[in-house]
Structure 1
Amino acid sequence: MGCRTVSVVLDELTSWDADWKNLRVLVTGLGVTGFSAADTLIELGAKVTVIDSKDDELNRQRADTLKIVGAHQVLLGEEHVSSLPLIDGQQPQLVITSPGWNPRHPVLAQAAEADIAIWGDVELAWRVQNRAGRKVPQWLVITGTNGKTTTVGMTESILLAAGLKAVAVGNVGTPILDAVRDPEGYDVLAVELSSFQLHYTHSISPLASVVLNLAEDHVDWHGGFDGYREAKARIYERTQVAAIFNNQAPETIKMVQDADVIEGCRAIGFTTDTPGMSMIGIVEGLIVDRAFIEDRRNTAAELVALDEIGQIVPRHTAANAAAAAALTRAYGVPTEAVAKGLAGFDAGAHRIQAVARRDEILWINDSKATNPHAADASLSSFTKVLWIAGGVSKGVDYAELIRKHAQRLQQVLLIGTDNSSLLQALAEYAPQVPVHDITREATNADGTAPNGSRVMTQAVRQAAELAQAGDTVLMAPAAASMDQFTSYAQRGTAFISAVSDLMDEIAQAD
C-alpha cells in the first residue's frame, strides 16, 4: 500500500481490479453477511480478520472454511468483541460490519474514534461489482419501515417477466456480494436495504430508489427516530433516474426534496389514489402509469388489475405493487411485463395470509407485522377483529395504533412475555375492549414461562370461543418474535398449525 494515507487508498478501491492486496480489514460478525464479505475480501487479497461473539458449531465450521481459503485469523468468543483487535500489531485500515452490529458497539465505536472507515457489505458490493470483462448490473433499491420484502419480490418478478437476468438481494436473504460475484453477471439487482445497511453505505448510486413508508421502528439501534429517518433517507443519495416517493407519506417527499441526486433524476410518486402527473396510482381497481409515458399530462397506461394480483389486496399491498411498478418502469420494463410479473407474484406465507374461513369467521396470519406500522396495515383491512398481538416491542409506542383502531377491536389476546406498553395503550385508548393475557394464563405450574407453541395454541382456542360470525381473527403481533419464537416465520407457522388442528377437530365433530 506504500506510504499513501489510508483515506487515499480507500478512495481508490472502486473496482474488483483495484489494489486490495494486504489491506488490513476487520470483518465484524460471522453470519451469512459477514461470511460473504470475508470470503470476498480474501479472494481480493486483503488481510482479513473476522470476529464474532458466538463460539458455536456453525461459526466454527464457517471459521474453518475461511481459514482454508486464506483468512488471516478468525476469533470467536465474547472476549474477542470487547475491543478493536489489532492485525499484525496494527489497527485495521477498514472495518466491514454486519448490519446487526450497532454503531455504539465497543468495537465499532473505537474504530470510529480512530477514524477507521466502516462499511457494510452493500458498500463493498457496490465497489467490487466493477470488474474487467464482467457485466455491471443496474441497482433498483428499496427501503421502508414495512413492505420491503414484498416490494423487492414484486420487483424481481417483474424484471424476470421482462426476460432480464435479475435477482432480489440484500436484506431479503441472498447476500449481495454473492450476486455481484456471479460469473455471468446480472442485468439488474432488486436490492432490499434495511436502515442498518443504509447506515453503513457511503457511495452507492442506484438507477432508481424508493422509501415505501416511514414509522417508528428500531429506534433503540439508531439512538432515536431522527437517526432512523436519516438512515432511510440515504437511499436517495446519488440516484440516477428516478427517486420514487410515497405521495401519501409526506416524510418521503421531503426526503426526495433534500436528496443530492444525479443531474436529470426525476421525482416520481406512487399512490393508492388517482395518480397525478409523474405518478403511478390506482383508478377503478387498475394500477396505471402517468409517469413513464410520453403523454403523461393527458393519458395513463394501464398496468394491471388489482384482482389479478390476489384475492385479498389490502391497501398497503396495492401500494407495494405501485412502487415496484415505478421502479421497473424507471428501468424501462414494458407494461406487459409489469402486468405479468405482478400477476404471477406469490407473496408467500405470513403476510396477511388467509389461513381458514369457517362459520363466517376468517383466520388471518400476519406474523410479518413485527411493528405497529405493519399491524396498522393489517388492522385497516378488516372491520371486526379479534386481535392476537404482543412480543418484543423494540421500544416503540402503541398509542396511535390503538387510538386509530379501538372501534374495530372486539377482543385482544396477548402473546409475548412483556406487553406493558401495549397494555398501557389498550387501557388508555380502548378501555372497552376485553384483553386476555394468554401468556400469563398459560404459565407453567412451577411459574416458568410457557413455550411459544403452547401460548399460540391457547390463543387460537380462546379466540375460537370468543369469535362470532363476521369476525376476523387476526394474528398481527405488532412486535418482534424473539421472546417466544426463533423468528416471525416460526410464530406464523405455530398459528397456522394451531388453526389447522382446530379446524380438523371441528370437522370431525360435525
Structure 2
Amino acid sequence: MVDAAPTPAGRLDGLDSWYAEGWKGLNVAVLGLGASGFSVADTLVELGSEVTVYAPEGPSDTVELLDVIGARFERTPLDAVPAVLEQQGPDLVVVSPGLPPHNATVQWAVANSTVWGDVELAWRVRDKVVRGPVAAPWVTITGTNGKTTTTQLTTAMFEAGGLRAVACGNIGVPVLDVVRDPDGFDVLVVELSSHQLHYLPTTGDGALVPLASTCLNIADDHLEWHGSAEAYRAAKAKVYERTVMACVYNTTDDATRRMVEDADVVEGCRAVGFGPGIPAPGDVGIVEDVLCDRAFAENRQSSALELATVADLEQAGLASPHMTMNVLAAAALARAAGVQPAAIRSAVQGFRTDHHRTELVATADGIAWVDDSKATNPHAATASLASFDKVVWVVGGLFKGVDVDGLVERFGPDVRGVVVIGTDRAPVLEAFARHAPGVPVLQVEAADTDQVMPEAVRHAASVARPGDTVLLAPAAASFDQFGSYADRGRRFAAAVHEHLGGNADGDTDGLPGERA
C-alpha cells in the first residue's frame, strides 16, 4: 500500500465519482505511457484535469494523440526525478504499473504528492455509465498463474448467464477504457497483477469493494519489482480486502487460505474453496467425473449442484490439472454472483483457451510440439511439465530474480532432453548439472532473435522420440530476446512448421502423452 503525503488543501477530497467537481483543473502527472498510461491521461483530460505525461519514450502515434486530446508530454527518463516534474508540483501522480516502488521518481511522488494507480482511478469514476440502479460490480482475479484464463472463463460464464460482462485490467484492456464505454456493463471481471495491487489502497474512497475475489495460487515471482517474496505476497493478498459476497481460495494452496483469513471483508462475506477433490460443504470441487458446487446449493450439507463434467473440459481443452483448477475458480466466482449452473456448463463447453497456453502447434512422427510460452515463471512451468509424460523441454529467458533450481530438481531427471534459450543460461545449466547430469543439455547459441527458435527446434528434434512432447515452457520472461511471450510463442510455432514442412499431422484434437 502506498502511504503518500496528503495533498495540500485537501484537493482530492470527494473525488469518488465521475461527476465530482474536483476533477476540473486538477494538476496531474502521469508516469509512463503504455496502454494504461494513455487511458489515464485520456480519462483525466475528459474530466477537465490538467495532465502532463512523463515517459522515456512512447509510440509516435500515441504521443501525437496526447497532443490531440490536450495533454502535455515530457520525454524524459524516470530513473531520476525530472526537474520539470518537481517544477510542476502536481496535486496527484498516477503511476503506471510497470514502475516499481523503488523507482526514484515514484519515491519522490510518494513523498511529495498523492500516488494512485490506474485501477484506483477507474474505481473512483466507475459510475460514469450505469445500466442498473448502481455502478456495475467488479469481480477481481489475481494469482501467480492462471489469471488470464480464469478471467476469460468467468467472463464467459457471466455472458452465458445473460449479463453484459467484460474482461479487463491486466488482461490487456485498461479498466478506464471499460468504465467509459457508452453502453456500460452489468459486471466487470478485472484481472489484477501484483504491480497493480501494490498501488491500490485498502481503505478510503479509492479502495475496491469487489463482489467476489480470488487469488488462484501463489509462488515467488516478480521479486526484483517488489523487493521480496513477502512484499509480493502482501500485494496479492490485497485482492480479498473489502469483498462483499465470496473470497474464493485454493484448497491446495494454504497461503491463499491464510490471505482470506487475514482479510478485512464486508460482514457476511463467505470463504469458498476450490480444489480437485471432493468438495466440503461451502466449497466447489470434483466428485468422480462431475464438477460440483457445494457452496451455493440450498442444501449444501447433504447435496451438490452439477456445474460441468470432465468430458466437457476435455472437449474444450481444459482437462489438464491446472486448467481444471481455473474452471473451478471461475465457477465459484460466477456462482457467487448468481450465475446458474446451466450457464456455467454452457460457457465451459463453448470455451477455447488463448494462444501460447499449452497450445498444440503440430504433431509429426508421433511427436507433439506444444507452445506454453505463457509459462513465464517456474510455477507456471510446473503446471505445464506435470501435464505430459515424456518431454523435451525448451527453457530459459529472463528469470526476474526467481530461482529455477527447484523446478529442475523436480522435473529435470525425467525429461528426454533440455534445450536452453536465453541470454543468461547459467541458472538452468548449473541446475541440470546438479540434479540431472545424465540428461542431454543443448544450448541455443544464436544471438539473432530470428535464429533463436529455428536453432531450438533443430536441437529439440535431434533428441525427441515418438511419444514425446517438445514443450516450450520457458519458466522465464521473454524480454531478453523477444518482444513478449506471444512473440516468443509465435516464433516457436513458425520454426516448428518450417522444420516439419509438410510432415505435420492435421489432427490436433489431442496431445500425445498428456496426463489426465
Give the TM-score normalised by structure 2: 0.91
Query: How far apart in 2 are the matches of 1:239 and 1:9?
Result: 28
- Give deviations 1:309-347, integer Å, cap 9, x for gaps: 334621000000000001111000000110111111111
CA 282–133 in structure 1, closer or farther in 2 if over 3 Å, else same: closer
1:291 aligns with 2:305: no
CA distance in structure 1 between the partners assigned to 2:420 and 2:85 by the alignment: 49
Structure 2: runs of 5+ lacking an equivalent: 1-5, 202-206, 506-516
1:280-316 Cα distance to aligned partner (Å, 9 max, x none): 1112232111101111111111111133233462100
Distance 1:464-1:241 versus aligned 2 partners, 3 A rule: same
Task: Pick closer, same or farther for the CA change 1:476–1:369 going to 2, 3 Å.
Answer: same
Equivalents in 2 of 1:425, 1:274: separation in Å?
Answer: 37
Alpha-carbon deviation of 1:130?
A: 2.3
Please state if 1:415 is matched with 2:421. yes
Query: CA separation of 1:75/1:291 partners in 2, compared to 1, >3 Å: closer, same or farther?
Result: same
State the one-letter code of the partner of 2:290.
Answer: L
Contact 2:129 2:179 in 1 (8 A): no
1:14 to 2:16 alignment: yes
Q: Give the 3-state SS of the residue equivalent to 1:66 in structure 2.
A: helix
Shift, 1:272, TM fit: 1.4
Which position in structure 1 is the counterpart of 2:204? Answer: none
Are 2:78 and 1:105 equivalent residues in the alignment? no
- In 2, Cα distance between the equivalents of 1:170 and 1:485? 23
Code of the aligned partner of 2:234: E
Percent of paired sites with the same residue? 48
Q: Does 1:378 align with 2:378?
A: no
Among residues 351, 355, 366, which one is paired with 1:345 in the alignment? 351
Quick one: distance in 2 between partners of 1:308 and 1:138? 29
Task: Indicate whether 1:481 and 2:485 are aligned.
Answer: no
* Equivalent in the alignment of 1:177: 176
Give the CA deviation at 1:62: 2.3
Question: Which amino acid is the alignment partner of residue 111 of structure 1?
Answer: A
Q: 1:84 Cα shift?
A: 5.1
Tell me which residue corresponds to 1:446.
none
Q: Distance in 1 between matches of 2:295 and 2:475?
A: 34
Aligned 8 A contact 1:169 1:179 in 2:
yes
Structure 1 unaligned segments of length 5 or more: list them: 443-448
Residue in 1 that maps onto 2:149:
150
- Rate the CA distance shift 1:181–1:507 in 2: closer, same or farther, 3 A: closer
Q: Distance in 2 between matches of 1:102 and 1:197?
A: 10
* Alignment-derived partner of residue 68 in structure 2: 68
Give the 3-state SS of the residue equivalent to 1:92 in structure 2: coil
Contact 2:131–2:185 under 8 Å retained in 1? no
Alpha carbons of 1:238 and 1:85: their partners in 2 closer, same or farther (altered >3 Å)?
farther
Q: Which stretch of structure 1 is more off in the superposition, 209-218 or 7-16?
A: 7-16
User: In the alignment, which residue of structure 2 is the partner of 1:320?
Assistant: 326
Q: Superposed, which structure 2 residues align to 1:63-142 within 5 Å?
A: 63-71=63-71, 73-78=72-77, 82-83=80-81, 89-114=87-112, 116-131=113-128, 135=132, 136-142=135-141
Q: CA deviation at 1:506?
A: 4.0
Choose the corresponding residue for 1:332, options 325, 328, 338: 338
Partner-residue secondary structure (3-state), 2:242: coil
Q: Secondary structure at the match of 2:12?
A: helix
Q: Indicate the SS of the match to 1:150.
A: helix
Q: Residue in 1 aligned with 2:34?
A: 31
Equivalenced residue count is 490
Paired letter, 1:112: V
| Whole-angstrom CA distance in 2 between matches of 1:50 and 1:134 | 32
TM normalised by structure 1 equals: 0.92
Cα RMSD, aligned residues only = 1.9
Secondary structure of the corresponding residue to residue 10 of structure 1 = coil
Deviations, residues 175-229 of structure 1 (Å, cap 9, x unaligned): 1001101122110001000000001112011000000000111000001111100
Partner Cα distance (2:381, 2:163) in 1: 35
Q: 1:354 to 1:27 in 2, by over 3 A?
A: same
Contact 2:318 2:324 in 1 (8 A): no
CA distance in 2, matches of 1:7, 1:192: 35
Name the residue aligned to 2:44. 41
Does structure 2 conserve the Cα–Cα contact (< 8 Å) formed by 1:363 and 1:472? yes
What letter corresponds to residue 45 of structure 1 in structure 2? Answer: G
SS in 2 for 1:272: coil
Matched, 1:472 2:473: no
Q: CA deviation at 1:403?
A: 1.6
Q: For the residues of structure 2 that align with 1:499 and 1:453, how far apart are their CA atoms?
A: 13
**Cα pair 1:134 1:183 within 8 Å, conserved:** no
Q: Distance in 2 between matches of 1:5 and 1:352?
A: 48
The answer (yes or no) to whether the contact 1:384–1:410 under 8 Å persists in 2 is yes
